[in-house]
Structure 1
Amino acid sequence: MPATSKAQQKAAGAALAAKRGEQPKSKLKGASKEMEKSMSEGQLEDFASTKRRGLPNRKD
């Protein structure tokens, strides 16, 4: 499932880094914190790997 906005893609990338241990979980805020708790590594990978070109900045 691809991300629907640049903000969602960026949050998924931050959550994925925390889940893999590349970034401390304490640095997560908002959506990325919730994504890290509720999504699997595979799901986060799908969201984070979405190409940003053509995506809106924020989902309306």
Structure 2
Amino acid sequence: MPATSKAQQKAAGAALAAKRGDEPKSKLKGASKRMEVSMTETQLEEFAHTRRKGLPDKKD
């Protein structure tokens, strides 16, 4: 399932980096913190690799 907004895509990218160990988990906050705990690495990859062109800044 692809991300539905730029903010969601960005949060998924941050969560994915923390899950892989590239960034410390302590730097996460808000949605990215919840995503890191509740989603698998594969799901995060799908969200993070969504093309940003045409996406709204935030989901309504």
Normalised by the length of structure 1, the TM-score is 1.00
Deviation for aligned residue 1:45: 0.1
CA RMSD in angstroms comes to 0.1
Question: How many residues get paired?
Answer: 60
- Map Cα deviations across residues 14-55 of structure 1 (whole Å, 9 max, x no partner): 000000000000000000000000000000000000000000
Any gaps of 5 or more consecutive residues in structure 2?
Answer: none
Could you say which residue in structure 2 is the equivalent of 1:42?
A: 42
The equivalent of 2:58 in structure 1 is: 58
Q: Please give the TM-score of this superposition, normalised by the length of structure 2.
A: 1.00
The sequence identity of aligned pairs, in percent, is 80
